[in-house]
């Protein structure tokens, strides 16, 4: 009798556990396998993948799409990296918008929408991150994956006790062995993130990249925000871009990449290649630790009363008011920053011009919304649709 009661309770517990496992498993699998549709814009001439530059990545989780917009005219080559940290969605949206809209009249533009695709297949349920977010367009709702800061542990496991950066030997937090912006310049036999950075360095060499822009977002509690961080080789460009953007469009600062802070794109790409690197940051209240309800609305509107309260107490490094920091403002800032850096690259390198057109600036994106600039994959020919 007692045995029957015991197994009845155990049976119910097994059924509940099984249900939780199935429901959670379906949710995780849906997110991991969801593909974003990208319509190739008029400027895209070739789509390659990172595995073309470093074979071991081919077909793997970080075999990222590389969109090449080649004018066919001689000039400079710029690489724009989106979603080094996929929990910073204005970066992948900006890169996506560049692929679908940009045309290049001189030089070559290379865009990567998800630089660490593995990190875009996982979120932080413990931090209440949504799995997806949605952008309104003229033709319907476009769905995107929300991601995390680090590569998916399913693709890169286990982490070391302490991550020793290569080649500097600097000690970093263990999980940063999966952080694409702590593993530059990478190594061929390292972790997934290190191999991905290694592949990007080979891409930079093979394509003759002259300048790299790594797009990011940051919490308002973090001092490096609303700014362009520049390698010493790119200080003039960053300074001029910062000053003219502040005068013409929006306030943006400029920081010099610290010499001893290793693993970051703005330090290592410039040190280990001919291409100077700049990192652009926009404010994203979703990432603040003092934030309130964490949901898709906060991700897209950037409105949070707790972050605002922190601002009233002088605890933030960037202003915020009732308007928040909506996704359109953040995408618009990145669009204008990329364009302005291209303009000043051309000004300072007359023999290697880079002329990018048909990309909306800050005011255009704020006025029309990010979704206005996305093309409808349903009306595009199948050969023009690529999956991310």
Binding site for other proteins (CB under 8 A): 6, 9-10, 13-14, 17, 20-21, 24-25, 28-29, 32, 122, 154, 157-158
User: Shortest Cβ distance from residue 132 to other proteins (Å)?
Assistant: 16
The nearer residue to other proteins, 20 or 315, going by C-beta atoms, is 20
Please state, in angstroms and rounded to a whole number, the distance separating the CA atoms of residues 334 and 328. 10
The nearer residue to other proteins, 191 or 242, going by C-beta atoms, is 191
The nearer residue to other proteins, 161 or 312, going by C-beta atoms, is 161
User: Shortest Cβ distance from residue 3 to other proteins (Å)?
Assistant: 9
User: Shortest Cβ distance from residue 2 to other proteins (Å)?
Assistant: 9
User: Shortest Cβ distance from residue 202 to other proteins (Å)?
Assistant: 21
The nearer residue to other proteins, 21 or 206, going by C-beta atoms, is 21
User: Shortest Cβ distance from residue 20 to other proteins (Å)?
Assistant: 7
User: Shortest Cβ distance from residue 129 to other proteins (Å)?
Assistant: 13
User: Shortest Cβ distance from residue 58 to other proteins (Å)?
Assistant: 16
For residues 371 and 22, is the Cβ–Cβ distance under 8 A?
A: no
For residues 73 and 354, is the Cβ–Cβ distance under 8 A?
A: no
HEC string of the chain?
Answer: CHHHHHHHHHHHHHHHHHHHHHHHHHHHHHHHHCCCEEECCCCCCEEEEHHHCCHHHCCCCCCCEEEEEECCCCCCEEEEECCCCCCCHHHHHHHHHHHHHCEEEECEEEEECCCCHHHHHCCCHHHCCCCEEEEEECCEEEEEECCCCCCCCCCCCCCCCCEECCCCCCEECHHHHHCHHHCCCCCCCCCHHHHHHHHHHHHHHHCCCCEEEEEEEECCCCCCCCEEEECHHHHHHHHHHHHHHHHHCCCCEEEECCCCCCCCHHHHHHHHCCCCEEEEEEECHHHCCCCCCCCHHHHHHCCCHHHHHHHHCCCCCCCCCCCCCCHHHHHHHHHHHHHHHHHHHHHHCCCCCCEEECCCCHHHHHHHCHHHHCCCCCCCCHHHEEEC
Please state, in angstroms and rounded to a whole number, the distance separating the CA atoms of residues 335 and 369. 13
User: Shortest Cβ distance from residue 25 to other proteins (Å)?
Assistant: 5
Please state, in angstroms and rounded to a whole number, the distance separating the CA atoms of residues 95 and 102. 10
Among residues 310, 381, 379, the alpha carbon closest in space to that of 138 is found at: 379
User: Shortest Cβ distance from residue 112 to other proteins (Å)?
Assistant: 25
């Amino acid at each position: 009798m007692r045995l029957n009661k015991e197994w009845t309770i155990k049976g119910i517990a097994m059924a509940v556990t099984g249900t939780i496992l199935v429901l959670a498993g379906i949710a995780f699998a849906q997110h991991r396998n969801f593909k974003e549709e990208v319509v190739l814009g008029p400027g895209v001439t070739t789509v390659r993948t990172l595995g073309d530059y470093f074979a071991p990545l081919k077909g793997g989780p970080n075999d990222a799409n590389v969109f090449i917009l080649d004018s066919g005219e001689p000039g400079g080559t710029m690489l724009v990296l989106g979603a080094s940290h996929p929990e910073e969605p204005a970066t992948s949206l900006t890169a996506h918008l560049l692929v679908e809209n940009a045309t290049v009249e001189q030089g070559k533009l290379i865009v990567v929408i998800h630089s660490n695709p593995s990190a875009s297949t996982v979120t932080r349920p413990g931090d209440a991150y949504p799995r997806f977010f949605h952008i309104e367009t003229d033709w319907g709702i476009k769905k995107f994956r929300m991601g995390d800061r680090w590569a998916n542990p399913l693709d890169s496991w286990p982490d070391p006790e302490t991550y020793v950066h290569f080649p500097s030997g600097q000690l970093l937090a263990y999980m940063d062995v999966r952080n694409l912006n702590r593993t530059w310049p990478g190594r061929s036999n390292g972790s997934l993130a290190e191999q991905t950075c290694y592949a990007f360095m080979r891409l930079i060499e093979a394509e003759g990249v002259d300048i790299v822009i790594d797009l990011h977002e940051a919490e308002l509690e973090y001092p490096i925000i609303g700014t362009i961080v520049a390698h010493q080789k790119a200080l003039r460009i960053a300074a001029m871009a910062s000053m003219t953007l502040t005068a013409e469009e929006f306030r943006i600062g400029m920081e010099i990449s610290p010499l001893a802070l290793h693993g970051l794109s703005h330090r290592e790409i410039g040190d280990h290649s001919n291409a100077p690197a700049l990192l652009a940051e926009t404010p994203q209240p979703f990432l603040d630790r003092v934030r309130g309800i964490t949901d898709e609305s906060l991700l897209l509107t950037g409105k949070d009363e707790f972050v605002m309260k922190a601002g009233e107490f002088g605890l933030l490094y960037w202003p915020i008011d009732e308007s928040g920091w909506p996704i359109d403002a953040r995408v618009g800032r990145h669009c204008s920053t990329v364009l302005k850096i291209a303009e000043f690259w051309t000004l300072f390198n007359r023999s290697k011009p880079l002329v990018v057109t048909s990309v909306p600036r800050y005011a255009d994106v704020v006025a029309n919304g990010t979704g206005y600039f996305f093309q409808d994959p349903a009306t595009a020919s199948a050969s023009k649709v690529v999956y991310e």
